[in-house]
């Protein structure tokens, strides 16, 4: 794992990311990304639309993307990391059956200027991690590969990551060697109602991911792409044992109408314009800010969070946080009997349960 430099001030780390870039189209959005003053950028899938088994053609598309003037300026100024999704992997909705996955992996790593001695050159899949700094805060950026070992959806136990990647991820999270972990995946994790690809199409793997996240002692954040629009999502009731937020940014050149894609876990309004994401980690305040910005750099969605809000907590604490802040998950996701009660009633019961110890103490 490499270590990217912190910001010039040392107190705030600004991480920009994006997905879904057509190499042969104008890309003015890079000027807005640079103007947002990021300390690094990472791809979360579809850096090019390769869709080929011809490796010479795929490499030519990567070369065209690298030659984009705005992207070339960004690469000259800040580190660029990333993982792939289906189109830069080589096939639309591609999976482990793609015949050129090993060759495509090397082309993708070449695109990112990954060193020949890097472990990603020898493993099956492009997954990896970067250790970053926001002042005194240690930030771990985890980039998952959801293509190399992926099996076709249709069975509850269909694979997403493969056992070697699972062992690597579970050990990395359980070690707790960070103050914040950002887990990036080309496929959305929390939204499960739309018809596009999603972790929910692989339910056993989705639950295993939640359990792995639940075993992590540090605060966690999810980042994703793929959808050709941007949105923020949150759910308090997964086995991850915390309010789990996901920031989705897509696309840098592509766009689609999010109005046709329900998401009961959506926080605020979706962003239909071409967009990029920013994760600003404030080391001095132990907080972060999630931003979605359009091609002109205008802020289209944001959410501020204290790192403590993303840390593991007991179910009662999550219920209280959900009631106090609102907007995190859907009432239908509430655990057990709470999901079947009218909201005013379960809020009253929760308040009574929290107040009871104080009343008993006073009675004595």
46 with 149, same domain: the answer is yes
- 321-336 pLDDT tens trace: 766 665 477 666 766 5
300 with 361, same domain: the answer is no
- In angstroms, the first-to-last Cα distance of the chain is 57
Q: Give the domain range for residue 218.
A: 2-333
pLDDT over threshold 50, residue 112:
yes
**96: nearest Cα among 44, 30, 147, 34:** 147
168 with 118, same domain: the answer is yes
pLDDT of residue 282: 98
Look up the CATH number of the domain holding residue 92.
3.60.21.70
- Over the chain, what is the mean pLDDT? 91
Residue 159 CB contacts under 8 Å (≥ 6 apart), including other chains: 96, 149, 150, 151, 202, 205
Q: Angle 101-111/55-67 helices, nearest 10 degrees?
A: 20
301 with 357, same domain: the answer is no
pTM of the model: 0.91
**CA distance linking residue 243 with residue 78, whole number of Å:** 31
3-state DSSP: the chain helix, strand, coil percent, rounded to 5?
35, 25, 45
**What average pLDDT does the segment 275-288 reach?**
98
356 with 259, same domain: the answer is no
pLDDT of residue 328: 75
* Residues facing residue 224 across a β-bridge: 185, 248
264 with 356, same domain: the answer is no
**CA distance linking residue 276 with residue 258, whole number of Å:** 16
**What average pLDDT does the segment 234-239 reach?**
92
Question: How distant, in Å, are the alpha carbons of 102, 227, 299, 302 from that of 189?
Answer: 26, 12, 24, 19
214 with 273, same domain: the answer is yes
Q: What are 39's two structure tokens?
A: 């300390």
In this structure, what are the phi and psi dihedrals at residue 59, rounded to the nearest 5 degrees? -65, -35
């Amino acid at each position: 794992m490499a270590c990217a430099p912190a910001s010039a001030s040392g107190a705030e780390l600004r991480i920009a990311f994006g997905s879904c870039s057509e190499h042969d189209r104008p890309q003015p959005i890079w000027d807005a990304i640079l103007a947002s003053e990021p300390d690094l950028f990472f791809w979360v899938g579809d850096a090019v639309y390769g869709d080929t088994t011809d490796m010479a053609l795929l490499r030519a598309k990567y070369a065209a993307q690298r030659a984009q003037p705005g992207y070339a300026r960004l690469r000259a100024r800040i580190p660029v990391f990333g993982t792939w999704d289906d189109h830069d992997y080589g096939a639309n909705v591609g999976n482990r059956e793609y015949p050129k996955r090993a060759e495509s992996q090397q082309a993708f790593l070449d695109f990112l200027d990954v060193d020949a001695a890097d472990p990603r050159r020898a493993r099956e899949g492009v997954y990896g991690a970067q250790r970053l700094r926001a002042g005194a805060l240690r930030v771990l950026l985890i980039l998952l590969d959801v293509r190399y070992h992926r099996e076709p959806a249709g069975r509850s136990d269909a694979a997403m990551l493969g056992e070697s990647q699972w062992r690597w991820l579970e050990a990395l999270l359980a070690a707790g060697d960070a103050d914040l972990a950002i887990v990036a995946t080309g496929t959305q994790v929390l939204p499960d109602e739309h018809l596009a690809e999603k972790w929910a199409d692989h339910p056993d793997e989705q639950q295993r991911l939640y359990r792995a996240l639940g075993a992590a002692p540090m605060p966690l954040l999810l980042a994703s792409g793929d959808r050709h629009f941007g949105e923020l999502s949150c759910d308090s009731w997964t086995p991850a044992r915390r309010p789990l937020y996901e920031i989705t940014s897509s696309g840098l050149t592509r766009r689609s109408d999010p109005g046709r894609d329900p998401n009961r876990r959506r926080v605020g309004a979706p962003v239909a314009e071409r967009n990029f994401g920013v994760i600003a980690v404030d080391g001095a305040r132990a907080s972060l800010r999630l931003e979605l910005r359009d091609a002109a750099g205008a802020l289209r969605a944001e959410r501020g969070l204290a790192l403590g809000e993303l840390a593991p907590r007991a179910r009662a604490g999550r219920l209280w946080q959900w009631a106090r802040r609102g907007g995190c998950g859907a009432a239908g996701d509430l655990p057990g009997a709470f999901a079947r009660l009218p909201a005013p009633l379960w809020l009253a019961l929760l308040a009574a349960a929290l107040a009871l110890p104080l009343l008993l103490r006073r009675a004595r």
